[in-house]
Chain A
């Protein structure tokens, strides 16, 4: 009975931690199996400990090439989507204009559309235009689906900005450009950064839309997909582990910076 009571009191904590375990289990498996020495092609069963894959992460043909291609696309998609998205967000928050509702729903729709539908329709357009599928079609597609997410992230931040700060700057004879660069942009920066981070993660990890619009170009997710049929090399687990560790460190780092900033302000 005491145990049941204890379980009742701790229900949220136990259930929550179990879910967290469910979320992290694949990451743990990926890490553990990056030290495996598989027999045959398939790395699904534990055989023996080995550091081979870690010593030579690029030892698989074409894998690191696809990785660098994915990074390039993600960087350019982030730049494009962040620039276009930030402009839209400012227009939506700061101005009243006609067609505001239409614009808002045009922003919302890509997020409410299953990826296959967008992927297939974009391919129809490219086929009709006779476009050569590859780097540029992938980049176009990625900017398209990242755009809305950037708008939402930046909008949230700009909405909570005090417009009086900009009025104050103008009262102190700052020109429109000066006001924007010295006042508006720094305050909006966290929202823009969040949008950019999101765009990067979405683009780097996208498989469904890329698969339709890549032609014979192979990004990293497409390499992983292809290798799943032939047998995944251990090196893929090494990359997966490294990505997880880097992501955790980056988020920890940005949090530390954010905390120092707020402390300085206080």
Chain B
């Protein structure tokens, strides 16, 4: 992410290099080691996993590929609540990240002045601190009978969230609200940084121009700033939604058995129950679902040049 915050790139120079005769194979030599690494340790494992998901057998007797697609059906029918939950939690966290992150990104881009670098550092620095330690800190913050829960109770917020099923009784910990709060917190910088880079490219004179044409500040935002920041919004939502949907740390540390997400199921199946076919099928379904969502989302939003 640090790269995103680098100083704005100087305008791209026109590519006027002469055709090279020498070193026709140079690019391939440059690519070879890295691409080999990705093929062996990224692509090949996917194929292994695909084959595992259609195997049957047991840990003692070994597994065999039997094209047993019923594992997928079993995985879906058994664990659809966790899938639905993952999508719901990740979507809520993404929306919250957008709502919370936009003002901060806007502040850094247009209003921070000489405080810009300091705020930027404070946004990035948590990246270098263990996210597990910081997630555990939310246990202290949201503790039963703590100041946050007390305040929410006094303001009758908990009555509303209890009614919505986000919290239960007098507690926030071990409820969906705690998990979404943790997810939002964990992936917020992934939203802020792309938003900032796209906002920073906007010429502030456009704001003045909009003002000169009698646009109110909110109209300027709605008609000028927000549309121009769309690339940032798209890559920010992807960067928060994808990891949030696959996360199991927040659901485990801040949630309860009722808030388990797909990630938790995959982790338990793989590392504790050792039911490899089911675990492989689950992670394949998750991967396929996310890839499908990304493609439609990118198509709809019309920004193809994300990478």
Contact = CB atoms under 8 A, between A and B. Distances in A.
Nearest to B118: A252
B212 to A, nearest CB: 19
Interface string A137-177: 00011011001010111001101111110010000000000
B238 A112 contact: yes
A121 B34 contact: no
Contacts of B128: 201, 204-205, 243-244, 246-247, 250
B90 to A, nearest CB: 10
Instruction: Name A's interface SS.
Output: helix
A247 B30 contact: no
Contacts of B155: none
A23 B126 contact: yes
A125 B45 contact: yes
Instruction: Name B's interface SS.
Output: helix
Nearest to A236: B133
Nearest to B120: A251
Range class of the A interface residue count: 35 or more
Contacts, number: 286
A167 B20 CA distance: 12
B85 interface: no
Contact of A211 (B136, B267, B286): B267
A157 B6 contact: yes
Most buried by B among A45, A95, A156: A95
Contacts of A109: 42
A83 B42 CA distance: 18
Contacts of A237: 133
Contacts of A11: 103
B38 A107 contact: yes
Interface in B27-56: 27-28, 30-31, 33-35, 37-39, 41-46, 48-49, 52
Q: Which 3 A/B pairs are nearest by Cβ-Cβ distance?
A: A114-B246, A16-B107, A153-B3
Interface of B: 1-3, 6-7, 9-13, 15-17, 26-28, 30-31, 33-35, 37-39, 41-46, 48-49, 52, 100-101, 103-104, 106-108, 110-111, 117, 119, 121-141, 143, 185, 188-189, 192, 238, 242-243, 245-249, 253, 262-263, 266-267, 270-271, 276, 279-280, 283-284, 286-287, 290-291, 294, 307
